[in-house]
Amino acid sequence: MASKHSINLKRGFTLLEMSIVIFLFMIIVTLVSKIYLNLVNSSLIANDYYQALENVRLGTEKVWRILKYGWSFRVINNNQGLEFQKNNCVNATIIFTPSSQQLIYQEGNSATTSIFDPNLVRVKNITIATDRPATDQRYAYFQYAPKIIVINYNLEIISKKGVTSSLEFYSAVAPLNSVYSNNLCQ
Amino acid sequence: MKKGTTFGELMIVLLIVSASLIIFLRLSVDYLRSLVFARELFILNNILYSKYQFLIAYRNKSLESSFSPTGISSAMPSFNFNCINFSNGTFLTSSGQCRETVGNLGITYRISNSTLSNNTGIKVVIDGSLLSTLGRISASLSGILTPWHPNIR
């Protein structure tokens, strides 16, 4: 009698119980790993995104600084480029190239450089506009020096994971030298 | 002897599993929210700063008409508008609500100014905000505009 009772006590799990436990365990593991992977992916995308945003900030700041101290601005290439002289009177160009989807900067006859990192930022479109100079002014440079340059950046931020995000904004520059009555570079 | 898990124990286990799942999910969502926030604050700050550059240009254009080779020493006039924009090479100014759309974002802003006590310039404050999926994001920019003009001769 005693041995019969002890046999009953040692009864293990049935196959059905084990299957249910394993099934539930698998579901939980799948769910948790999927969420964990999402978390890691989000973190990687966030990292790429911040890098790209920082690259955009640096690029636009570079353009802003060059234009702030430049001379003799002229909008070219159907409002997608700008020709000007730098503060050291060297000729320079900023131009959007649709084929490479980049904003290109060239100083004199030197090699062209991209304003943004092509691996992080894609340029969808650039529109540049200036105000109308006051042609009735007495002093020569006033007659063609714009008081404001407005650039519309239409960009796309790229993540290594293939996720892209659009980033469109305006940047405006009031050139410092536009208040001079003549161009010191001429 | 046949005692299994009680309802209370099951509930505790369920609570722990759900809490850990929610924390994981929340972290992932927070990353993405911070991306959206960084992007929209970047756009808003750029718009406000471009408005400040518009004001500098507007001042330069105003001063230009009374420019003389010896420079300008008159006091800086206050701006009597809240909004400044630019279209077809012309500055557009107006009062009331200032709204602007950049991409798919609607931005509202307002320029206020006050003459400084010694009358050597005006203090400009540009307040702006945009309504995003995260709620309203606000930013403010202030600076001092002087009637500065170069005296090059």
pLDDT score at B65: 61
pLDDT score at A137: 64
Name the A residues in 142-161 with CB < 8 Å from any B CB: 142, 147-148, 150, 154
Of the candidates B11, B115, B59, B103, the residue with the CA atom closest to the CA atom of residue A165: B103
Average pLDDT over residues B73-98: 84
Domain span at residue A107? 14-179
**Closest chain B residue to A41 measured between Cα atoms?**
B28
- A53 in contact with chain B, both atoms CB, cutoff 8 A: yes
Nearest to A53 among B28, B31, B42 (CB): B42
Query: Are B126 and B142 contacting, i.e. CB atoms less than 8 angstroms apart?
Result: yes
Least confident window among A99-108, A177-186, B14-23, B76-85: A177-186
Query: How many separate domains does chain A show?
Result: 1
pLDDT in tens, A54-109: 999 999 999 999 999 999 999 999 999 999 999 889 999 999 999 999 999 999 88
Least confident window among A28-32, A150-154, B71-75, B87-91: B71-75
Assess: ipTM above 0.90: no
Domain ranges of chain B: 7-145
Q: Strand, helix or coil at A9? A: helix
> Is A185 a domain residue?
no
pLDDT at B68 over 70: no
Hey, are the CB atoms on B53 and A134 less than 8 Å from each other? no
Cα–Cα distance between A52 and B29 in angstroms, integer? Answer: 20
The dihedral through the CA atoms of B80, B86, B100, A165 has a sign that is negative
**A16 falls in which pLDDT band (50, 70, 90)?**
confident
> Is A122 a domain residue?
yes
Hey, are the CB atoms on A172 and B53 less than 8 Å from each other? yes
pLDDT score at B153: 37
Average pLDDT, chain A: 87
Of the candidates B7, B94, B106, the residue with the CA atom closest to the CA atom of residue B47: B106
Question: Which residues of chain B have a CB within 8 Å of the CB of A168?
Answer: 43, 102-103
Average pLDDT, chain B: 82
pLDDT at A116 over 50: yes
Residues on chain B bordering chain A, Cβ-to-Cβ distance under 8 angstroms: 1, 17, 20-21, 24-25, 27-28, 31-32, 34-35, 38-39, 42-43, 46-47, 49-51, 53-54, 56-58, 60-61, 63-65, 67, 69, 86, 89-91, 102-103, 149-150, 152
Q: What is the pTM of this model?
A: 0.82
pLDDT score at A127: 96
> Is A172 a domain residue?
yes
Q: Nearest-CA distance from B43 to chain A in Å?
A: 6
Q: Strand, helix or coil at A136? A: coil
pLDDT at A38 over 70: yes
